[in-house]
């Protein structure tokens, strides 16, 4: 299975590409914004494609024409303004969903935020509310499609080394999770079709990732 990783140069995306390239049944196509970002991916044998997520749907669809699945890991980051949040986390996500449909790619995995409910928008600090709102509407757009989607809601992201153990359910108590483990969860979802049509939260736990995903 060839997987287009949107946001491949991000912290989760980079680890995901590495995991895909070391998996016998999976391979990565890294979607990056600048050609100078390609060297790290080329060193591990990953194909790259340069596409600006703020560009046209057709450009994303062209990048997806030869893949079997798309994973959206892109994010505007905590230090950008509301404009970038809208353009990347909402508009970029929606355009990628529409590009998947144009390219005939049915499998789509979305990395969302821990809680994107209406209540979460209303209770979020003013600086964080636009991000939650963007994720809320991007998730809703995906749910309304006929794509074989999975929506993953990770807890607070850390750069700690992954433990390979998580807690996963429709609702889990708020907690943290290493980005490395989020990347491993994505791989487990790609390998398990029972995750199609499912949406769940993940935090660090005591259950091996594959077992936790299989039990959803």
Tens-digit pLDDT profile for residues 63-81: 999 999 999 999 876 567 7
What is the SS3 assignment for 110? strand
Query: Which residue in 114, 131, 137, 149 is the catalytic one?
Result: 131
Q: What mean pLDDT is predicted for residues 89-109?
A: 98
pLDDT in tens, 159-177: 999 999 999 999 999 999 9
176 alpha carbon, distance to own chain's centre: 17
Whether this prediction's pTM lies above 0.85 is answered by yes
Going from N- to C-terminal start, the domains of the chain cover: 2-157+182-202
Domain 2-157+182-202 sits in CATH 3.40.50.720: yes
Instruction: Give the list of residues 6+ apart from residue 151 with CB closer than 8 angstroms, or none.
Output: 109, 110, 112, 139, 142, 143, 198, 199, 200
What span, in angstroms and rounded, lies between the C-alpha atoms of 113 and 138? 11
Judge whether 131 counts as a catalytic residue. yes
Q: What mean pLDDT is predicted for residues 191-200?
A: 98
């Amino acid at each position: 299975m060839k997987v287009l990783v949107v946001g491949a140069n991000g912290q989760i995306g980079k680890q995901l590409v590495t995991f895909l390239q070391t998996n016998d049944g999976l391979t990565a196509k890294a979607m990056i914004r600048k050609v100078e970002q390609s060297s790290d991916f080329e060193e591990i044998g990953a194909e790259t494609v340069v596409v600006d997520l703020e560009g046209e749907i057709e450009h994303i669809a062209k990048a997806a024409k030869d893949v079997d699945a798309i994973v959206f890991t892109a994010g505007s980051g905590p230090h950008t303004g509301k404009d970038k949040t809208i353009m990347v986390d909402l508009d970029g996500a929606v355009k990628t969903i529409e590009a998947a449909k144009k390219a005939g790619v049915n499998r789509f995995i979305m990395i969302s935020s821990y809680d994107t409910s209406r209540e979460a928008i209303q209770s979020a600090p003013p600086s964080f509310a636009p991000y939650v709102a963007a994720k809320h509407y991007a998730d809703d757009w995906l749910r309304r499609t006929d794509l074989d989607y999975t929506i993953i809601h990770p807890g607070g992201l850390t750069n700690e080394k992954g433990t390979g153990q998580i807690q996963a359910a429709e609702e889990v108590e708020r907690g943290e999770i290493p980005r490395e483990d989020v990347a491993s969860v994505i791989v487990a979802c790609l390998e398990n079709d029972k995750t199609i049509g499912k949406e769940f939260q993940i935090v660090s736990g005591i259950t091996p990732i594959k077992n936790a995903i299989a039990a959803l």
